Amino acid sequence: MRRRPIGLWTAALGGYAFLYVPLLIVVVYSFNDSRLNAEWVGFTFDWYDKLFHNQDMLVAAGNSLLIGLTASAVATVLGTMAGLAMYRYQARLLSILVLAPIAIPEILMGVSLLIFFVLLNLTLGLISVALAHIAFCIGFVAIVVRSRLAGMDESLTEAARDCGASPFNAFRYITLPLIMPGVIAGALMAFTLSIDDFVITFFTAGAGTVTLPLQIYSMIKIAVTPEVNAVSTLLMLLTLALIIVASKLSPSLLGADEEKT
């Protein structure tokens, strides 16, 4: 039985408190009887009611989820491959290609992607947004996967290959389970980045394409009403529920296979 120092517990709990106090305000204020997100006035369910009748907001939320799931899925696959390549083959070009989208200011990326899509005559819409999101999410996944691989013992993989395993099987049964926590961490970051992105989405979205951040940011100059708090609360709960269901259906999803190795 490991005795973890009380200092660690307090610091960690402090960290959770730091994360959750603003979130509690977000949730509590979704019941605030005031258009503004600034001071508590009174309790009401009105905003949830408004939300369920607000076609625009609901469609926007749906689009955000759709793009988020797609973009993070593709980015996770490509990012894992990139992380693997960066670690194993010290790929310099890839390292730069992967890091630069994270460094480049979003507004530059947004404008240049728009110009690029227009040059290619690509119809702007949900797909153009998803393509853009994947580009900047790959880096996050790649960096985490690479750091997870750092110091990893390649002898296991080599042994498997010498025993006749195909490269794919060696990856699937040896490497992947070992890097799974890194892959999951990367996927979570990619999803988070995608559903909250505004600048790049603004420039690459087509006429009539609305995601949740686009809808919300357009309210910034008038009032970001508690409807936004409501939709955020529901979105969080929905995504949490989705993940819990997914992990129950497929236990290996969250790296629960560790014990087997």
Q: Which is nearer to other proteins, 173 or 255 (by Cβ)?
A: 255
Q: Does 200 bind other proteins (CB under 8 A)?
A: no
In the complex, least distance from residue 51 CB atom to other proteins, rounded to whole angstroms: 13
Q: Which residue, 80, 74, 79, is CA-closest to 102?
A: 79
Q: Using CB under 8 A, which of 107, 159, 241, 245 touches other proteins?
A: 107
Q: Does 53 bind other proteins (CB under 8 A)?
A: no
Say if residues 87 and 142 touch (Cβ distance below 8 Å): no
Residues contacting other proteins: total by CB under 8 A: 140
Say if residues 41 and 33 touch (Cβ distance below 8 Å): yes
User: 143-162 burial by CB neighbour count: b if 16+ within 10 A, else e?
Assistant: bbbbebbeeeeeeebeebee
User: Scanning residues 28 to 47, which ones bind other proteins (CB under 8 A)?
Assistant: 29, 34-39, 41
Say if residues 142 and 86 touch (Cβ distance below 8 Å): yes
Q: Does 114 bind other proteins (CB under 8 A)?
A: yes
3-class secondary-structure state, position 43: strand
User: Scanning residues 222 to 241, which ones bind other proteins (CB under 8 A)?
Assistant: 222-224, 228-229, 231-233, 235-236, 239-240
Q: Using CB under 8 A, which of 57, 109, 137, 160 touches other proteins?
A: 109
Q: Using CB under 8 A, which of 58, 69, 165, 176 touches other proteins?
A: 69
User: Scanning residues 139 to 158, which ones bind other proteins (CB under 8 A)?
Assistant: 140, 142-144, 146-148, 150-153
Tokens of 250: 């497929």
Say if residues 183 and 76 touch (Cβ distance below 8 Å): yes
Q: Mask 76-105, x = binds other proteins (CB under 8 A)?
A: --xx-xx-xx--xx-x-xx-xxxxxxxxxx
Q: Using CB under 8 A, which of 51, 137, 201, 213 touches other proteins?
A: 213
* Backbone phi and psi for residue 32, each to the nearest 5 degrees, phi listed first: -80, 130
Tell which phi-psi region holds residue 255, choosing left (phi > 0), alpha (psi between -120 and 50) or beta.
Answer: left
Q: Which is nearer to other proteins, 163 or 222 (by Cβ)?
A: 222
